Amino acid sequence: MCIRDRFLAFISKLLKPQNILELGTFTGYSSLCLAEGLSENGKLLTLEVNDELESFHEKFIKSSNFSEKIDIQYGDAAEILPSLEKETFDLIFIDANKKMYPQYFELCTRVLKKGGVLLADNVLWWDKVVNEEINDPETLALRKFNQLINESDQFSSFILPLRDGITIAQKK
């Protein structure tokens, strides 16, 4: 059991969201943790680029108590998100391609409800983000993401230094 995932479950239970969007499913454990707080008729849409995980998801997520509440779509989140612009989400969790975080921020801002919460994992990138000598593409993108959300007048936010950092932001 990971402290980050228990944190996700805690936040979801506090918010009792109707609609959750997750970018990056991987094993699906965070999906299940987020689903713990869904409202009675709530839904979670999770986007995963790696369709080779589909058989694993079939066993792990589809056999869970939340199988009816979780929808997995396979493909590039940056390509799928524009098609979701008619939908809105109460809670969004970003834990996908780090180089894409600035673009995900822009795209997620469009579908996050006013008052909704955006969570983003790995925003300190194991302290690489604060080390100015490190300039790999992931670190640079995470720095840009942190700057974008910090300077946005649409969000109130802070970074929780849990593991390698989680941004918690509420859309104004």
Q: What whole-number distance in Å separates Cα of residue 104 and Cα of residue 11?
A: 21
Q: Where are the domains of the chain?
A: 3-171
Q: CA 64 → CA 26, 57, 100, 161, 166, distances in Å? A: 16, 10, 30, 30, 26
Sorting pLDDT into bands at 50, 70 and 90, what band is 27? confident
Q: Are the CB atoms for 22 and 46 separated by under 8 Å?
A: yes
Sorting pLDDT into bands at 50, 70 and 90, what band is 1? low
Q: Are the CB atoms for 127 and 55 separated by under 8 Å?
A: no
Q: What is the pLDDT of residues 123-154, one digit of tens each?
A: 999 999 999 999 999 999 999 999 999 999 99
Q: What whole-number distance in Å separates Cα of residue 169 and Cα of residue 154?
A: 10
The CATH number, out of the four listed (3.30.230.10, 3.50.50.60, 3.40.47.10, 3.40.50.150), of the domain defined by the range 3-171: 3.40.50.150
